[in-house]
Structure 1
Amino acid sequence: MANHKSALKRIRNSETKRLRNKYQHKTTRNAIKKLREADKKEAETLFPSVVSMIDRLAKRNIIHNNKAANLKSKLAKYVAAL
Structure 2
Amino acid sequence: MANHKSALKRVRSNETKYLRNRYYHKTTRNAVRKLRATEDKAVAEELFPSVVSMLDKLAKRNIIHKNKAGNLKSKLAKHVAAL
TM-score, normalised to structure 2, is: 0.97
Identity %: 78
Spell out the pairing of 1:3-82 with structure 2 (5 A cutoff): 3-38=3-38, 39-82=40-83
Q: Report the 3-state secondary structure (helix = DSSP H, G, I; strand = E; otherwise coil) of the residue aligned with 2:69.
A: helix
Give the superposition deviation at 1:36. 0.9
Secondary structure class of the residue paired with 2:81: helix
State the TM-score, normalized to the length of structure 1.
0.98
The runs of 5 or more residues in structure 1 that have no matched partner are none
Shift of residue 37 of structure 1?
1.2
Task: Output one character per residue of 1:8-53: Cα deviation in whole Å (capped at 9) or x when no partner.
Answer: 0000000000000000000000000111111211001000000000
**CA distance, structure 2, for counterparts of residue 76 and residue 34 of structure 1:** 14
Distance 1:58 1:37 in 2: 23
